Amino acid sequence: QQTFNWRMTTTWPAGLPFFQTGPGSATDFARRVEEMSGGRIRIRVYSAGELVPAFEGFDAASAGRQVQLNHGCAYYWAGKSFAAQYFTTVPFGMTFQGHNAWMNFGGGYELYEETYRPFNLVPLVVGCTGVQPVGWFRRPVESLADFRGLNIRMPGLAGDIYNAIGANARLLPGGELFAALERGAIDAAEWVGPYSDRELGLHRAASLYYSSGWHEPATSTEVVVNRSAWDSLPADLQAVMRNAAAACNITSHTWLEAQNADALDDLINNHGTQFLPLPDDVIQALLEATKDILSDNARRDDLVRRVNESYFTFKAKHDRWNQNSETMFQTQIRDLGQQILG
Amino acid sequence: MYLFLHRLERVLYRITSISGWVAAVSMAALILLVFGNMAARYLMGFGAVWLQELEWYILSLSVMTAIAYAMRADEHVRVDIFSSRLNRKGRMWLDMLTMTLVAVPVAILVLYYTWPFVQTSYVRGERSPNAGGMPWTFLPKAMILLGFFLILSESIRKIISVGRRLSFHYRRPANPPRNRNHAA
Amino acid sequence: MPLEYIALMMIIGFFVLVLTGMPVAFAIAAVGFIFGFIGFDGWLFELLPSRIFGSVTNYTLLAIPLFVFMGVMLDKTRVAERMLDVIGHASGALPGGMALAVILVGVLMGAATGIVGAAIVTLTLMALPTLIRRGYKPTVACGTICASGTLGQIIPPSLVLLVLADTMNLSVGSLFAAALVPGLALATLYVLYLLVLAWYNSADVPALDAAERASISKTQIMKDLVTSVLPPLALVLAVLGAIIGGVAAPTEAASVGAVGAVVVAALMRRLSMPVLNDALLTTVRITAMVFFVLIASQVFALAFRGLDGELLVEGMLNWVPGGPYGTLLFMMLLIFLLGFFLEWIQITYIVVPLFLPFLAGVPEFSMVWIAILIAMNLQTSFLTPPFGWSLIFMKGVAPKGIKTSDIYRGAIPFVIIQLVALALIIAFPAIALWLPEAIGW
Ligand code: NA
Ligand code: NA
């Protein structure tokens, strides 16, 4: 029987629990694939910089001769194809359930595949952080005016949206994030969520934790597989890969949900962190900026237009169902239930 | 042939000079850009993602054009514990061998591996993943090509120059003519 | 043959090639390519451009040319010369006073720049003839100058710390804060050594004679202090304060330092087009040198990965007893030994990343502490004969009467002092970690 010895680069520095080492992470995916395939697929995982710098793994897997897979987030490749943004998460988009429903059964995955076809890559959804908070702020933001000139560490699309409402999106290496926030070189920063942010020590740098994250409602992680490598797999091993990915997706999400619940209590009770909502006028302005930027890009590129349409058509439908199921449950039913059941 | 080599050497010398000039000018631009970006943000609350990213573009230009120039100035990290004992001729041979057997092949290999890397980026129209960031990611990538092309050109210049001096050294008659000053 | 053995041969091949005296960048790239093609047909090198691209577009490393320019520019203002004169005369009556002045100037130059070469050359040209003329023992004079000129590597801002921050994914500010106390402590140990020397053997380090002391008045000294030492000192303190205080990101503060150095030069009437031109070209050459080694190291690093070199390191570390502390001490010993042959750029780019994975997850180790240990250890590599950079720089500009053996012998006490300092920081991590913790990094 043929065995496959593959290399997987990642966009993560060594040691991040959610992305790199914990349940449902990159190394967990590699381990599951090896176990489920009875050792016929062996994947060696490389942290960012070990083989290639953090954001070069995509091209490496695309070439596919040295590196067959890359673990990361699709929105890192928005500079290669703007449509990739949608498969990680969409500002003001859908949360875990809706996003995954769209990906699996709403036409999302087919578009995902189409987006990566020119890059000779097959995508697999392998994880989800769930809703991310807005981020850590050093001073309160009570109105839109407070965002004028606010220095915020925010990469990607959300950074541009913040710029559109008058803030300054800053690019900073991960190592400088804590220092810059703590010292006031930036006024606000976002990372992942209570658990991961606490690992980074952001709660020691700022005490106001704004939520809930309009910008990343369901950040998904991906493994991209070189298409030739993928095609060389027999059907049973392709099934192994898909099932390991699906398992990691749910494992990582549920694991982080549990960790975040713990971390939230710890932050509030032991570290004086305050959770706050964003003011309505800010959300309004962010929404308008988002709409402009998304429709601008959709006008410019046919693929983006189709992805955008598919996403928001599905979202409209799913929102109606969600409104009458999840949303209602999480508000009326849950709140009344808490009064009696605790 | 000799005339051709002589002209080639002079052309290559000019190329390296120009690259040093580009490196210095872009270095000045880099200093002003980083300072300007910071000042704009602190004083006017203004900052643009593409201006931050432009810093890297210029850094890559400055660094990659600087190497060939530094090579000519012989600004190298090197361990000369043994080579310092060589005489002039020995050192010329060391330079000759380093350039022909090491510098030229290394430069060609890096160019060979970098070409498709830049081409892919260009063909795909790659731009910054940050919205509002710089377009043309192939440009800083192409700086690697530029840099190693300049290294190659400087290496060839050095080969010609050392070769000329070496051949001069060996062709020199056994009894060199007497010192001209003395004769005059 | 297992790939790891080829990796081992590659390391040996590197040493051989480096010893021929060819530029290190070419040697390192050459062995990488040669052994990569022998071991794995070179296929991994297709990843090379992305690694080079990552190096020349790196935000942390962007600070390197900025700090270099600041240092070069301040050097052009000849502030070190004035300082040496002023402080030397101020401490004239004390045996060893001139040597103490050299150390003090070394500290100040160290804070102004991270460029060892410039500091050594300046100090050697200005102070060595004077020291010899005043009857200092040549070994003591050479050792003091080398050691003082090298202080810039550990006293922030420093290129070593910048590169370490990048390779270890740490904040530049916290490394700068952590290096400050160890750097000053090292300078203090130098001072103590010279005082002890002056106490037991004042003939080796005579005081200034009265006539020379009388030649400059107290008011002139004060005037010189204010006009020529204060402005650059203020700039340096502002830049360091901004970084350690966290007001600005290190790269931004470095740009302020670079622009500020031009302003200071203008204020001191040292600014002219040729000076600016020269400073830019020097900056470009030093930056090119650092980045070229970094770029070439990518070839070596890829080849090392391709040859399963990490298994070699892993095997070596399994064989080292003592758990994480054993690993740490082993790495320290290796860096010290390599320091005899290599200089800091290669050690930081090649050796440190190999050991990082084995130290990163250890709960009792602070990575900042480890970075400072590495920086302090690298500091000695500058002074260890025969390849210590400081010694080589000094040899290049020392007056004819100075023998190489004077320089080598003079460096040895200072190497020992640095090892003592290293041992102290290992035993008392607080020396490094106190300041960053106190100011909340
Ligand atoms: Na995030
Ligand atoms: Na320094």
Q: Which chains touch B (3 or more CB pairs under 8 A)?
A: A, C
Q: For residues A279 and A212, give the distance between their C-alpha atoms in angstroms, rounded to a whole number.
A: 11
User: Tokens for A298?
Assistant: 């959709």
Q: Residue C328: helix, strand or coil by DSSP? A: helix
Give the range among A96-110, C310-324, C422-436 with minimum mean pLDDT: C310-324
The dihedral region occupied by C78, where left means phi > 0, alpha psi between -120 and 50, and beta the remainder, is: left
First to last CA, chain A: 56
pLDDT tier for residue C92 given thresholds of 50, 70 and 90: low
Q: For residues C38 and C296, give the distance between their C-alpha atoms in angstroms, rounded to a whole number.
A: 18
C-beta atoms surrounding C330 within 10 Å: 18
ipTM associated with this complex: 0.79
* Strands of A121-128's sheet in order across: A41-46, A4-10, A69-72, A220-226, A121-128
pLDDT tier for residue C346 given thresholds of 50, 70 and 90: low
Cα distances (angstroms) measured from residue A212 to each of A95, A150, A216, C198? 11, 19, 9, 68
Element (H, E) at C132: helix C116-133
Q: Which ligand is nearest to the CA of C152?
A: 2
Q: What is the arithmetic mean of pLDDT over C227-250?
A: 76
Total number of domains in chain C: 1
Is A199 touching C (CB cutoff 8 A)? no
pLDDT at C213: 59
Contacts of A276 (CB under 8 A, 6+ apart): A140, A208, A209, A210, A211
Each residue's pLDDT tens digit, C386-425 = 667 788 777 767 777 788 788 888 889 999 999 999 999 9
Closest CA to B132 of A136, A115, A161: A161
A:11-70 residues touching chain B, CB 8 A cutoff: 55, 59, 62-63
Each residue's pLDDT tens digit, B103-139 = 999 999 999 999 999 998 898 888 887 767 788 989 9
pLDDT at A175: 61
> Mean pLDDT score of chain C, rounded to an integer?
81
pLDDT tier for residue B81 given thresholds of 50, 70 and 90: low
Give the range among B21-35, C249-263, C293-307, C392-406 with minimum mean pLDDT: C392-406
C:47-106 residues touching chain B, CB 8 A cutoff: 48-50, 52-53, 56-59, 62, 65-66, 69
pLDDT tier for residue A174 given thresholds of 50, 70 and 90: low
pLDDT at B182: 43
First to last CA, chain B: 34
| pLDDT surpassing 70 at residue C209 | no
Q: Which chains touch A (3 or more CB pairs under 8 A)?
A: B, C
Q: What is the arithmetic mean of pLDDT over B82-91?
A: 75
Comparing B176 with A182, which gets the higher pLDDT? A182
Which of A104-108, A195-199, C149-153, C312-316 is predicted most confidently? Answer: A104-108
pLDDT tier for residue B95 given thresholds of 50, 70 and 90: confident
pLDDT at B180: 45
pLDDT tier for residue A6 given thresholds of 50, 70 and 90: very high
Q: What is the arithmetic mean of pLDDT over A184-196?
A: 83
pLDDT at C93: 66
Give the range among A66-75, A127-136, B75-84, C276-285 with minimum mean pLDDT: B75-84
Q: What is the arithmetic mean of pLDDT over A309-323?
A: 95
pLDDT tier for residue A255 given thresholds of 50, 70 and 90: very high
Is C363 touching A (CB cutoff 8 A)? no
Q: Which domain holds residue C384?
A: 3-439
pLDDT at B181: 46
Q: Measure C250 CA to ligand 2 centroid, in angstroms.
A: 13
> Mean pLDDT score of chain B, rounded to an integer?
84
List the single residue in C18, C56, C299 with the smallest CB-CB distance to B63.
Answer: C56
pLDDT tier for residue B143 given thresholds of 50, 70 and 90: very high
| pLDDT surpassing 80 at residue B171 | no
pLDDT at B166: 85
* pTM of the entire predicted model: 0.80
Q: For residues A176 and A171, give the distance between their C-alpha atoms in angstroms, rounded to a whole number.
A: 10
Q: For residues B55 and B57, give the distance between their C-alpha atoms in angstroms, rounded to a whole number.
A: 5
pLDDT at A333: 85
Q: Which residues of C171-186 are buried (b: 16+ CB within 10 A; e: fewer)?
A: bbbbbbbbbbbbbbbb
Q: What is the arithmetic mean of pLDDT over B48-60?
A: 87
pLDDT tier for residue B83 given thresholds of 50, 70 and 90: low
Q: Residue C22: helix, strand or coil by DSSP? A: coil
| pLDDT surpassing 60 at residue B183 | no
pLDDT at B156: 93
pLDDT at C319: 79
Q: What is the arithmetic mean of pLDDT over A125-147?
A: 90
Cα distances (angstroms) measured from residue B78 to each of A148, A251, C318, C392? 52, 53, 33, 10
Q: What is the arithmetic mean of pLDDT over A60-66?
A: 87
Element (H, E) at B29: helix B2-44
Helices (H), ranges, A117-234:
156-164, 174-182, 194-200, 227-231
Domain boundaries, chain B: 2-170
Q: Which residues pair with A168 in a beta bridge?
A: A151
Q: Which ligand is nearest to the CA of C257?
A: 2
B124 and A151 within 8 Å at the Cβ level: the answer is no
Each residue's pLDDT tens digit, A17-53 = 888 888 999 999 999 999 999 999 999 998 887 888 8
Helix crossing, C63-76 with B2-44: angle to 10°? 100
Comparing B157 with C111, which gets the higher pLDDT? B157
Comparing B39 with A242, which gets the higher pLDDT? A242
pLDDT at C342: 66
Comparing A171 with C187, which gets the higher pLDDT? C187
pLDDT tier for residue B76 given thresholds of 50, 70 and 90: low
Give the range among A11-20, A22-31, A203-212 with minimum mean pLDDT: A11-20
| pLDDT surpassing 90 at residue A112 | yes
Q: Which residues of A touch B49 (CB under 8 A)?
A: 159-160, 163, 169, 171
pLDDT at C352: 81
Q: What share of chain A is helix, strand, coil (3-state, %, to 5)?
A: 55, 15, 30
Q: What is the arithmetic mean of pLDDT over C240-264?
A: 81
List the single residue in A13, A65, A183 with the smallest CB-CB distance to C246.
Answer: A183
pLDDT tier for residue C212 given thresholds of 50, 70 and 90: low
Q: Provide the percentage of residues in chain C whose pLDDT is more than 90.
A: 10
Q: Which residue of B has its CA nearest to C388?
A: B79
Q: Provide the percentage of residues in chain A whose pLDDT is more than 90.
A: 52
C24 and B20 within 8 Å at the Cβ level: the answer is no
pLDDT at A196: 83
B:11-50 residues touching chain C, CB 8 A cutoff: 20, 23-24, 27-28, 30-32, 34-35, 37-38
pLDDT at B82: 67
Is A98 touching B (CB cutoff 8 A)? no
